[in-house]
């Protein structure tokens, strides 16, 4: 077991958080990184035990056009500032990983400047890809070169050049020696050469025990990158997409199908793929902005912290702030924040309370880090699964509907479960756990003997005292605060015409607060069979044979449509065909068809 197996990450984009200028004047160091020292205790308070921070090193603008890999960006301070930051994180038992931008450099990097000066005679002319002295570019260099993403500001390194590999490997050694970091997130890992990554993995094993390499990968078979020879983990963009669209579309089938596919990709083992899970980051819109129903903030984050993988929170999202991607700028995703504006967030901000509670539950519940995954119930608007480890079974329940829902779930390994968020105690009867899952909410059910001392001398979980999450976010920028309050007020009103599917019926839940979790009271539970319907009750009203035949025909039609579209777009491989045939979930197939438009 390594530290990252139990990690809960906090992601910081430092140039944005500290309010650094957009362009680097290359002037005297400004010690902005020092302003992040108070954030470390906040990070620990909300249950995170690892920080991913970057980019950090001298660059032209946004940080990914590196000028000097061995010098902290002068807008942030000096190397000593970074050393102090990492040291304080370690003092508070928080690991630190940095951004490694090793696919490309900026035009101010020493090797590129030497090419500008000496052209064909430059000793570094082979450090970059496809340098052509017969070409030109918009900078009128008198030569052209391969870039990343179509931006000549980002000059692509020749990763096959042994000198480049040796230089970058030396940079990693320098970072560990100088700053004592615990790992690296490799930028644009999906376009890195695999031999290049294997060289970095060898260095990782050399510099420090359990030194972690995590890569930015958008799509593809993650096992190409995550294996014994290359990286320990990659960014889980598949789950990121499923988590928000699965709630916006009331389609838990999309989430469950994604989890199943990724889980099987890792050999269906807890130690298979430990992917880096997130709901937002410095490149995508804030989760609070993306959710059509802001109340879904709660079940989204319950899933983030309980599904297989390593959870990560992007700075500020624990306060429920918004961030919408602009067409030509990511600035709105990377705002400057003053921690003093959120001084009481852990007590008075419902979103922060939820994140803090989930962080503590995650750290105290080994099954969420090491447990096998087993699906227990799956409907469009309700989802339950178990994480099993060393004889302990933790059960997770979520509900994206505007009404409460009663779940009957198999539970064999305990006689009593306690909701780690709600504090509700529920006895297991006849091998079944029957729980009422609040509207637009969820809970994490832990066996009563899991942690702490109970009446029978066995352990009980520490119940976290969090209130409902229907409150407003903590103080933000003035122009966003009023909008956030309006959203929260709107979300606290009953839904007037929520669209219902065949697997969920409307029911009035007295006292429900839509944006989150409140301790369950006896008065809140269903008083009769009409208040909340279970799946069994609804199924009895339908002819099973007719329903099965209809569903099979509908699924087959959707699968044929997807394959037909694929064939028009290009060759269809056997793996692509199997992916379509294995997807037997109606809403997931509909979403797939829509994605072609």
Q: How far is CA 188 from CA 101, 428, 516, in A?
A: 8, 48, 36
State the Cα angle at 234 between 231 and 240, rounded to 5°. Answer: 170
Contact partners, residue 464, CB within 8 Å, separation at least 6: 356, 357, 360, 361, 420, 421
The pLDDT score that the predictor gives to residue 19 is 98
The pLDDT tens digits of the residues spanning 114-146 come to 999 999 999 999 999 999 999 999 999 999 999
15 touches 334 (CB < 8 A): yes
The pLDDT score that the predictor gives to residue 460 is 45
345 touches 319 (CB < 8 A): yes
Q: How far is CA 385 from CA 274, 292, 424, in A?
A: 18, 25, 18
- Among 232-236, 276-280, 463-467, 542-546, the range scoring the smallest mean pLDDT is 463-467
Whether omega before 255 lies within 30 degrees of 0, making that bond cis, reads no
370 touches 270 (CB < 8 A): yes
The pLDDT tens digits of the residues spanning 182-216 come to 999 999 999 999 999 999 999 999 999 999 999 99
Regarding predicted confidence, which is higher, 282 or 527? Answer: 282
pLDDT at 523 over 80: no
The pLDDT score that the predictor gives to residue 458 is 37
The pLDDT tens digits of the residues spanning 251-273 come to 999 999 999 999 999 998 887 89
- Predicted confidence band at 555 (pLDDT cuts at 50, 70, 90)? confident
The pLDDT tens digits of the residues spanning 144-184 come to 999 999 999 999 999 999 999 999 999 999 999 999 999 99
Where are the alpha helices (H) located in 365-428, listed in sequence order? 367-370
Q: Considering the chain, what percentage of its residues have pLDDT values greater than 70?
A: 78
The pLDDT score that the predictor gives to residue 114 is 98
Report the residue count for the chain.
597
- Predicted confidence band at 510 (pLDDT cuts at 50, 70, 90)? very low
Q: Round to whole Å and give the CA distance between 79 and 76.
A: 9
**With helix as H, strand as E and coil as C, how does 434-452 read?**
EEEECCCEEEEEEECCCCC
Q: Is 123 exposed, middle or buried (0-12, 13-18, 19+ CB in 10 A)?
A: exposed
Residue for token pair 């390499």: 213
The pLDDT tens digits of the residues spanning 51-61 come to 999 999 999 99
Whether omega before 55 lies within 30 degrees of 0, making that bond cis, reads yes
**Cross-strand partners of 426:** 417
Mean pLDDT confidence for 383-402:
96
The pLDDT score that the predictor gives to residue 525 is 34
The pLDDT score that the predictor gives to residue 187 is 98
| SS3 state of residue 558 | helix
**With helix as H, strand as E and coil as C, how does 260-305 read?**
HHHHHHCCCCCCCCCCEEECCCCCCCCHHHHCCCHHHHHHHHHHHH
Q: Which of 155, 174, 188 is nearest to 55 (CA)?
A: 188
Q: Round to whole Å and give the CA distance between 483 and 471.
A: 13
Regarding predicted confidence, which is higher, 53 or 565? Answer: 53
The pLDDT score that the predictor gives to residue 508 is 30
Greatest CA separation for the chain: 85
Average per-residue pLDDT in the chain? 85
The pLDDT score that the predictor gives to residue 595 is 57
**With helix as H, strand as E and coil as C, how does 486-509 read?**
HHHHHHCCCCCCCCCCCCCCCCCC
- Predicted confidence band at 471 (pLDDT cuts at 50, 70, 90)? very low
The pLDDT tens digits of the residues spanning 31-47 come to 999 999 999 999 999 99
Is the dihedral angle over the CA atoms 17, 20, 24, 29 positive or is it negative? negative
Phi, psi torsion values for 325, nearest 5 degrees: -70, 125
Q: Round to whole Å and give the CA distance between 425 and 509.
A: 20
Q: Round to whole Å and give the CA distance between 72 and 70.
A: 7
pLDDT at 418 over 60: yes
| SS3 state of residue 2 | coil
257 touches 588 (CB < 8 A): yes
pTM of the model: 0.79
The pLDDT score that the predictor gives to residue 583 is 81
- Among 284-288, 467-471, 498-502, the range scoring the smallest mean pLDDT is 498-502
């Amino acid at each position: 077991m390594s530290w990252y197996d139990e990690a809960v990450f906090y992601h910081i984009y430092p140039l944005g958080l500290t309010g650094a200028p957009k362009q680097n004047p290359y002037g005297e160091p400004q010690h902005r990184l020092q302003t992040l020292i108070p954030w470390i205790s906040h990070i620990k308070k909300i249950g995170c035990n690892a920080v991913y921070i970057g980019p950090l090193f001298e660059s032209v603008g946004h940080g990914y056009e590196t000028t000097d890999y061995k010098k902290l960006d002068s807008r942030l301070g000096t190397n000593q500032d970074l050393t102090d930051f990492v040291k304080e994180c370690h003092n508070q038992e928080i690991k630190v990983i940095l951004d490694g931008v090793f696919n490309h450099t900026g035009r101010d990097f020493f090797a590129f400047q030497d090419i500008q000066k000496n052209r064909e005679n430059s000793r570094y002319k082979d450090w970059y890809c496809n340098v052509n002295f017969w070409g030109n570019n918009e900078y009128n260099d008198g030569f052209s070169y391969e870039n990343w993403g179509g931006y000549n500001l980002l000059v692509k390194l020749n990763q096959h050049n042994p000198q480049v590999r040796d230089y970058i490997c030396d940079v990693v050694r320098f970072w560990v020696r100088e700053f004592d970091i615990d790992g690296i997130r490799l930028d644009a890992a999906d376009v890195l050469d695999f031999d290049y990554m294997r060289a970095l993995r060898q260095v990782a094993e050399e510099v420090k025990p359990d030194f972690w390499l995590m890569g930015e990968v958008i799509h593809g078979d993650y096992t190409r990158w995550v294996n014994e020879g290359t990286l320990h983990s990659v960014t889980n963009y598949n789950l990121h997409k499923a988590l928000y669209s699965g709630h916006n579309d009331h389609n838990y089938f999309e989430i469950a199908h994604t989890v199943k596919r990724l889980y099987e990709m890792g050999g269906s083992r807890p130690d298979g793929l430990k992917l880096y899970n997130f709901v937002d980051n410095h490149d995508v819109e804030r989760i609070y902005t993306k959710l059509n129903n802001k109340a879904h903030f709660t079940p989204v984050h319950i899933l983030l912290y309980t599904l297989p993988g390593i959870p990560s929170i992007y700075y500020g999202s624990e306060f429920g702030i918004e961030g919408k991607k602009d067409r030509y700028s990511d600035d709105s995703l990377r705002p400057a924040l003053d921690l003093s504006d959120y001084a009481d967030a852990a007590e008075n901000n419902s979103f922060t309370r939820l994140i803090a509670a989930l962080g503590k539950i995650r750290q105290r519940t080994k099954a969420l880090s090491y447990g096998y995954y087993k699906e227990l119930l799956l409907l469009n608007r309700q989802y339950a699964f178990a994480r099993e480890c060393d004889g302990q079974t933790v059960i997770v329940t979520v509900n994206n509907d505007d009404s409460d829902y009663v779940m009957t779930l198999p539970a064999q390994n305990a006689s009593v479960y306690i909701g780690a968020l709600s504090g509700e105690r529920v006895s297991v009867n006849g091998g079944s756990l029957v729980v009422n899952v609040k509207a637009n909410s969820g809970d994490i059910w832990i066996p009563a003997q899991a942690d702490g001392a109970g009446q029978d001398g066995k352990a009980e979980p520490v119940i976290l005292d969090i209130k409902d999450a229907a409150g407003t976010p903590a103080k933000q920028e003035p122009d966003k605060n009023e909008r956030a309050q309006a959203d929260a007020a709107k979300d606290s009103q009953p839904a007037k015409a929520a669209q219902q599917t065949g697997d969920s019926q409307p029911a009035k839940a007295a006292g429900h607060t839509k944006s989150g979790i409140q301790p369950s009271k006896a008065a809140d539970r269903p008083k009769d069979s009409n208040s909340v319907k279970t799946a069994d009750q609804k199924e009895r009203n339908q002819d099973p044979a007719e329903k099965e035949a209809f569903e099979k025909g509908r699924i087959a039609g959707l699968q044929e449509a997807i394959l037909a579209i694929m064939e028009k777009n290009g060759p269809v491989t056997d793996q692509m065909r199997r992916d379509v045939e294995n997807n037997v979930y109606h809403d997931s197939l509909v979403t797939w068809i829509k994605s072609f438009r």
